[in-house]
Structure 1
């Protein structure tokens, strides 16, 4: 409860939460606000924002509604970000927990595996996986998750190495708790605060990676995302800069909000930084 009070007293955190709630609401209500296909040509091409009340954010080179694209793009970008971060957390926490708790041979093998994956640049690994598979939302989320888990694994491993000799863990061993129960019920809850903070950064990174893939033409061609909108607008950047600026602003606001929330969570959950 004290951590929650510290979080709620942070104006930047509340601003970040407000932006994230707006983006999540857009994604959830995309089908209600704009029931048609955002890739449909519905108006005159190159309508500037404000030129036609029917298209508040204007239209692109094919006459597609830019606002509809941004709203539907929120769904794709947030879905990829959350799915990729969830997969990274699952793999990273499993590998880090086993390596940190058991140590010895398990730690040596898994640490080498973590280092091996980290030797390959994450974005390059994502490109290779997407190129091998089909450029779909599922494949992109899977690729980002598989490339990002070592960060979580190293963090969880360090936390488990610190906590495995704590008094409450020794007490759990003395009463005969199995290793699986100690890991899940005793150590993991105490190792979660830094992982929660890292999660916000991972979601933001996943959104940026998906946007970069879509910008390069490696996104899902059957859906609209913020990155694909920026990529489509780069060819007319001088004459219709709003086509890239508007979805780019959505990315900036979302990533900034996630970082603000992450910083606030770090202040609230880190006992060394708590204040009255």
Structure 2
């Protein structure tokens, strides 16, 4: 069975045109990507510079959103923090999607003892308190941004695995899969040629939502002081500004708003993709 990619992209364009939720998510992501690409041009100051203007209010001395206790420009830190958040979101979600897709596809397609064994592993991971596990791993191996991205990806794959497993259980009974088996194709060929490509769509939608969860997780770690001190992060901005919340509220407030807006954008996009990439809506294509 061949994927009708043109038909899928056509349906996505149609949904973007008429679905306000997906449209907001799509254009929101475009806006975030533009901020990431043109961050150096959009920022009014170098966010890593410590200046003499300490705790300046909004608009004071040319600082659009004020400064923090170290004299750093809040507006520029928000702009550069977008890079950190999107990097964490994309890389950790891709790690989660890759592991979940492979594990779920193997469990669902091979079935029997393999499915039972893998399902038990998935259930064990889903029962673990993920955030506390992340805290433990970060405490043991360090809080660099690379470690944060990897550990988030390695602890959030079970939901993708369950989705892919459900798709594989259904797809392995389809005629085109049985035809591939009859033609002598190996199990691995069928898995990567038919099962995963045709069952990946719910995983894509779930991965998009998972990006928002990754942003929240990184912000939570940074707020607890476990983020990477060498990069600018919205969570770290909230952490550093909590001591000045009554006298310099702008340090934490704007970083918190940036997190909320970004998470909402990813949720809107993920939920919209969940509608458009629903297997029942996608054309079956030709055999």
Is the TM value for this pair above 0.5?
yes
**What is the match of residue 188 of structure 2?**
180
Aligned twin of 2:75: 67
String of CA shifts for 1:212-261, please: whole Å, max 9, x gaps: 00000000011110100011111111122111110111111111011111
Match of 2:175 in 1: 167
Query: Per-residue deviation at 1:48?
Result: 1.5
C-alpha displacement at 1:87, in angstroms?
Answer: 0.6
CA distance in 1 between partners of 2:135 and 2:33 (Å)? 27
Determine if contact 2:241/2:252 at 8 Å carries over to the other structure.
yes
Gaps of 5+ in 1: none
Given that 1:4 and 1:268 are in contact with CA atoms closer than 8 Å, whether structure 2 keeps it comes out as no
Q: Would you say the 8 A contact 2:53–2:67 is kept in 1? A: yes
User: In the TM superposition, what is the alpha-carbon distance from 1:12 to its structure 2 partner?
Assistant: 2.3
Task: Tell me the CA shift for residue 271 of structure 1.
Answer: 5.3
Residue by residue, what CA displacement relative to the aligned partner does 1:70-101 show, whole Å, maximum 9, x if unpaired? 11111111101111101111111111111111
SS in 2 for 1:13: helix
Structure 1 position 190, deviation (Å): 1.5
Q: Are 1:191 and 2:199 counterparts? A: yes
* 2:101–2:200 Cα contact (<8 Å) kept: no
Deviation at 1:35, TM superposition (A): 8.9
TM-score by length of 1: 0.94
CA offsets 1:103-137 (integer angstroms, 9 cap, x no match): 11211211111112222111111111111111100
Distance 2:161 2:154 in 1: 12
Task: Check the 8 A contact 1:93/1:152 in 2, yes or no.
Answer: yes
Q: Could you tell me how far 1:40 is from its partner in structure 2? A: 1.8
How far apart in 1 are the matches of 2:148 and 2:23? Answer: 31
1:202 and 2:210 aligned: yes
Q: Distance in 2 between matches of 1:117 and 1:212?
A: 21
Q: Secondary structure at the match of 1:96?
A: helix
1:129 aligns with 2:137: yes
Aligned to 1:111: 119
Q: How many pairs were matched up?
A: 273
Distance 1:182 1:228, change over 3 A: same
Tell me how far apart the structure 1 counterparts of residues 233 and 170 of structure 2 sit (CA, whole Å).
42
In 2, are the aligned partners of 1:201 and 1:258 still within 8 Å (CA)?
yes
Q: Where do 1:84-163 residues align within 5 Å? A: 84-163=92-171
1:231 corresponds, among 218, 239, 246, to 239
Deviation at 1:32, TM superposition (A): 4.0
Q: Is the 8 Å Cα contact of residues 85 and 206 (structure 1) preserved in structure 2?
A: yes
- After TM superposition, the score normalised by the length of structure 2 is 0.90
The Cα RMSD (Å) is 1.7
| Structure 2 unmatched runs, 5+ | 1-9, 283-287
Per the alignment, residue 17 of structure 1 pairs with 26
SS in 1 for 2:79: helix
For residues 267 and 183 of structure 1, the distance between their equivalents in structure 2, rounded to whole angstroms, comes to: 25
